[in-house]
Chains A and B, each alone.
Chain A
Amino acid sequence: MKLNRRIEHCASTEKLCQIRAEVRQACQQMHFCQEDINLITLAIDEACTNIIRYAYSGDESGRLIVSIFHNESDAIFHLQDFAKCISPSCLEVRKKNLTEPGGLGLQLIHQVMDQVQLLPPSSSIGNILELKKHLPLL
């Protein structure tokens, strides 16, 4: 697994725009089409938003790291925070009426990405969310 890019910021909504710009660049370098770049960027942005909103509850002193890797078949995105560990059940999508509020971001992440999972925590603090998307066939 080769590291393409590591993006580290404080967990502030002001940084979301910069994170999206870097994710777009990384996706272009992995030869995704524009439609896929739009959707992958959305999924990563939604995951970062959830970290800012729920893991850190708006505490901007928290750190947020997005590491982008690839192997022969997949683009792999690791989103790391240093907040309280969450349960994998937090990633389950409940079927919902889209005109009702709540949970839309998580649903979009699952729709866009091929694999969504929490990696086993390496310490008692923090979470690493792994998102995978198949690389385009060249």
Chain B
Amino acid sequence: MIYQQTTYLHYQCLQLNGEVDLHNSPQVRKQLLAILKKGDSVLVDFSTLSYIDSSGIATLVEAFNIAKNKQLTLTIVAASGGPLQVLELTNLDKVFPMVANLTDVKE
């Protein structure tokens, strides 16, 4: 499964697994938009994510913009390695709220 969903504090946490690309980013998009439609803020956990392409990044940007319009939040958790490089390359590390660990998330 490309993601696992859990509840953490008052957030829905979507843990992304393995590699997100054009093949599976529509699944991630569908789930992220469903969470936001229910009115929940979301944590996107990158701790078990090894790769993300521009379709995955575009999905996160779309969800981030929707969250902002609904006065919800979308926070990236534990980005490292290749996925962090992509965020830095696109300067989105300065756009998305990011925390190093789930325990750093404020209630």
Residues of chain A at the chain B interface (Cβ within 8 Å): 13-14, 16-17, 20, 35, 38-39, 41-42, 45-46, 49, 52-53, 98-99, 101, 104-105, 107-108, 111-112
Contact = CB atoms under 8 A, between A and B. Distances in A.
Given A16-B23, A98-B95, A105-B54, A42 B86 contact: yes
B72 interface: no
Interface string B52-65: 01110110011011
Contact of B22 (A39, A49, A101, A112): A49
A98 B65 CA distance: 12
14 contacts: A14-B23, A16-B21, A17-B19, A42-B53, A42-B82, A45-B53, A49-B21, A52-B22, A98-B90, A98-B92, A99-B65, A101-B62, A105-B55, A108-B90
A18 to B, nearest CB: 11
Contacts of A39: 85, 89
A121 B45 CA distance: 44
A99 B96 CA distance: 10
A56 B23 CA distance: 15
Contacts of A104: 54, 57-58, 90
A104 B61 CA distance: 11
B69 interface: no
B91 interface: yes
A41 B91 CA distance: 19
Given A49-B54, A99-B64, A38 B85 contact: yes
Nearest to B91: A98
Contacts of A112: 89
Contacts of B81: 38
Contacts of B64: 99
Nearest to A19: B21
Nearest to B25: A13
Given A42-B53, A104-B58, A17 B90 contact: no
A45 B51 CA distance: 11
Contact of B53 (A14, A105, A107): A105
Given A104-B90, A108-B90, A46 B54 contact: yes
